[in-house]
Structure 1
């Protein structure tokens, strides 16, 4: 989970309880941190440049044009085009448990320069040229993207004469990693675009609706009317990850939300998410969130009651 430094929290000014904005602007990008300290609905937000929005704390419900509404949770990011209007609900925001989100607006010129660099230096598996990312791309941050975002939070707020240079280098790596992640097509249900037929779409909906139950390739392949080996190949070709990786990603997204409920024990949570043992749950969760479930739950509790 991304963390705001004590220096940032002490230095910023709270002028409004809904989407209070702290901004830092450099040559090729601007970093905005938004904080909401009370429940709110239908808050509109728009940027004049492409933006990477990353949840830090709390929960938002996002309403985007032409897409179904979805929960936006810590550890997730969303790529939006310039001039895209977001309509946002804050169902759980409180003064002691605020919702916080990082928005990194990046110049289109910078993105084009990185694309040119990638096409000159990084060969795609299909040998085609790299192109602009799919906007409204919603994904779970991998460790590399998480570390870059945490570093950018520090760099933008640091008073250093060379920070424009430092940030520019980090932005290039961030754009490359996002484009590579986008290439793997890890989409939410509202963005899922399956090229084969409705059998795979049905299986994906089934997985999301039965995360608390045992799920394995053999049973899922029967629901898709495919052999296990053919199902595995089709699934990985369409989504860029194996069925088990997809299931674990969905279970961790569910667990991240449940861990913010102080009335639930970790055992309750891993069982609701379909993990057979706490040790396996701990390992998968920490691999994706850089914290163990217990550490994550303790951090949420500390923030809530601080």
Structure 2
């Protein structure tokens, strides 16, 4: 794919999110990359990870099961599974593949996959095949020691892998970012709106919420921007999202707080203010209500799991 076509891929994604004038380019952290050869031993059920999975099939056959759909994995094809997507694998013979695990760090923009659907399978062009292999060559330390998802798909391992990014030479880190964006862009050019049947006013509100998590977001303001009364807006939001807008907003802020604590050492007070909370006491209470523990203890646990490496 040419530079021009790659640029068009990002522009195409911007059209879907409706935020062409805001930062929409996602930041990715490489967790794992490697080559694996399986012989009827790649069989797992109910895998659900907090990171994106990409597989490039080099040879052999297997099946990917997602949402009761079965995809026959084919040679020279790429397969993408977004974070928090329940899926499984079935392999009854030889299979040679490359695996890539990617953590998406969200800032003041929505996730790649919040409002769009990307294809599960695409044909890999010669350039992207070279890029996958190059990514594996420059990061041999990121290969998995074991292929059992339960051995690496857990909170402590995720924290350590994210923290490990800080020790990667800048040149390799920049190259990895470029390669990951090239790979993801191949899927994004074929993306479609996920919520085609959601009221456009709610979609607009969702886009605003995701791009303004660093500021106070009021239900009154969202209703006014949607040209609806507050009560009508709340009813419409609950109809499509299954919860009140206030609960949705605060839930997304807490998710963002957890992601920030996983990658940076930030004082709890500064974190609360950076997410638009009026004060850290309110943030502490809401964080504990959502996660079961206060943010101070949560932060200490993360630092312990990561070995304190947040430099």
> Taking CA–CA contacts closer than 8 Å with sequence separation of 6 or more, which of the two structures ends up with the larger relative contact order?
2
TM-score, normalised with respect to structure 2: 0.45
TM-score, normalised with respect to structure 1: 0.45
